[in-house]
């Protein structure tokens, strides 16, 4: 009996202490598109909740170092990130974060800064924030759809263009701010296996927009983040995600998000460490198609496949399961992206 209790406590420590929840924000404003925004009141409420409930808010680079080394993180570890570098972050979010002494990361694109687009921060504003502790990281040169080839471009030319884009952006950020984290946030959350391989060659880590906690089972070029905006900005729903766990994926097939032409119902096979999971409680969700039970092909391996064609654009398979020994849920998310049947991409 004592031995079983000790084993359960050991499992609890190992699973919870290695995961980190990474939050992704864009605007903190009352008058920007709701789909990419939280209001100042919502943001303040969320940060207050983290502070009052003793969450361990750390720089994103700390999470990356831990995942790389497969080292333990304290329970309830959180990293805060913002994509694009809007002025509302400097004007509204930064003072709130400063109040709680919370570190954060800004993923910025260079071209919008240089051309002074819309609500973007200037280099001077970014430098000021970096001097106060913000991490400045790579969001590509012009916030491009990385997987889309230009007309007449060969695959080799496309990959060389994307490689040059990311390296040039990293150089410009280092030149302006002195920071060189080699952390990339994929614009629109879009990437493919070729881009992942190229980033690995150059020592980058990268972040998508698929849900889940980051930990030792997360691929370094597809680290998950929880988007916080619109319908997902409500604190009650966010609380569940703040306590989420890193799904212990041992193996996965078909992890390339870019679907090949006509392969609109992709199947994945996932093998899990089942020591803290009951197979009967794991449930998957196909975006736009609802809940779907996984097909267990062994005690620790399941498959999941859409019953209908995934729509053009971006989709996800999400799978969750409650922990047997703790209060949180394990999250697994596989992103997908596809063109229209005629080969054209959705305009954005």
Residue 73 is predicted with a pLDDT of 85
Q: What does the pLDDT average to over 176-190? A: 97
Residue 6 is predicted with a pLDDT of 38
Task: Report the predicted TM-score, pTM, of the whole model to 2 decimal places.
Answer: 0.93
pLDDT tier, 104 (very low <50, low <70, confident <90, very high otherwise): very high
The region of weakest confidence among 68-72, 212-216, 273-277 is: 68-72
Buried b (16+ CB within 10 A) or exposed e, 112-145: bbeeeeeebbebebbbebbeeebbbbbbbbebbe
Tokens of 217: 């089972």
The region of weakest confidence among 76-85, 278-287, 324-333 is: 324-333
Answer yes or no: is pLDDT of 2 > 80: no
pLDDT tier, 102 (very low <50, low <70, confident <90, very high otherwise): very high
Answer yes or no: is pLDDT of 54 > 50: yes
Q: Among residues of the chain, what percentage have pLDDT more than 70? A: 95
Residues 250-300 have pLDDT tens digits of 999 999 999 999 999 999 999 999 999 999 999 999 999 999 999 999 999
DSSP string, 299-316: TTEEEEE-SSPPPSEEEE
pLDDT tier, 331 (very low <50, low <70, confident <90, very high otherwise): very high
Average pLDDT for the chain: 93
Q: Where in the chain do CATH 2.60.40.10 domains reside?
A: 251-338
CATH H-level superfamily of 2-243: Glycoside hydrolase/deacetylase (3.20.20.370)
Answer yes or no: is pLDDT of 114 > 90: yes
Residue 327 is predicted with a pLDDT of 78
Is there a contact between 294 and 327 (Cβ–Cβ < 8 Å)? Answer: no
| Dist. CA 29–CA 82, nearest whole Å | 13
Residue 14 is predicted with a pLDDT of 43
Residues 128-146 have pLDDT tens digits of 999 999 999 999 999 999 9
Which DSSP state fits 32?
S
Q: Where in the chain do CATH 3.20.20.370 domains reside?
A: 2-243
Which DSSP helix (H) or strand (E) runs through 165?
A: helix 155-177
CATH H-level superfamily of 251-338: Immunoglobulins (2.60.40.10)
Residues 6+ apart with CB under 8 A from 86: 26, 27, 29, 32, 119, 120, 121
Residue 65 is predicted with a pLDDT of 96
Answer with the residue of higher pLDDT: 16 or 79.
79
Residue 326 is predicted with a pLDDT of 81
pLDDT tier, 57 (very low <50, low <70, confident <90, very high otherwise): very high
């Amino acid at each position: 009996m004592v031995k079983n209790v000790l084993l359960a406590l050991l499992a609890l420590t190992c699973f919870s202490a290695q995961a980190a929840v990474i939050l992704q924000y864009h605007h903190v404003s009352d008058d920007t598109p709701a789909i990419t925004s939280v209001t100042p009141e919502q943001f303040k409420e969320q940060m207050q909740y983290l502070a009052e409930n003793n969450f361990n808010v750390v720089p994103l680079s700390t999470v990356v170092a831990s995942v790389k080394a497969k080292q333990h993180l304290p329970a309830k570890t959180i990293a805060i990130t913002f994509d694009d570098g809007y002025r509302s972050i400097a004007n509204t979010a930064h003072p709130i974060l400063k109040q709680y002494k919370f570190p954060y990361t800004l993923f910025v694109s260079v071209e919008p800064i240089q051309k002074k687009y819309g609500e973007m921060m200037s280099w001077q504003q970014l430098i000021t924030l970096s001097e106060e502790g913000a991490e400045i990281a790579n969001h590509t040169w012009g916030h491009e759809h990385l997987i889309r080839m230009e007309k007449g471009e060969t695959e080799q030319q496309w990959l060389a263009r994307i490689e040059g884009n990311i390296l040039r952006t990293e150089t410009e950020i280092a030149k302006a701010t002195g920071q060189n984290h080699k952390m990339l946030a994929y614009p629109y959350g879009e990437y493919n296996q070729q881009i992942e391989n190229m980033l690995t060659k150059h020592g980058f880590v990268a972040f998508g927009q698929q849900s889940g906690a980051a930990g030792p089972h997360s691929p370094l070029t597809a680290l998950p983040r929880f988007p916080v905006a619109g319908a997902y900005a409500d604190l009650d729903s966010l609380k569940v995600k703040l306590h989420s766990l890193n799904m212990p994926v041992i193996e996965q097939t078909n992890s390339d998000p870019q679907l090949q032409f006509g392969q609109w119902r992709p199947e994945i096979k996932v093998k899990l460490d089942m020591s803290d999971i009951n197979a009967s409680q794991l449930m998957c969700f196909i975006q736009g198609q609802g809940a779907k039970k996984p097909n267990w092909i062994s005690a620790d391996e399941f498959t999941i496949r859409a019953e209908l064609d995934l729509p053009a654009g971006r989709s996800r398979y999400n799978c969750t399961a409650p922990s047997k020994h703790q209060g949180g849920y394990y999250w697994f998310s596989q992103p997908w992206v596809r063109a229209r049947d005629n080969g054209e991409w959705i305009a954005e």
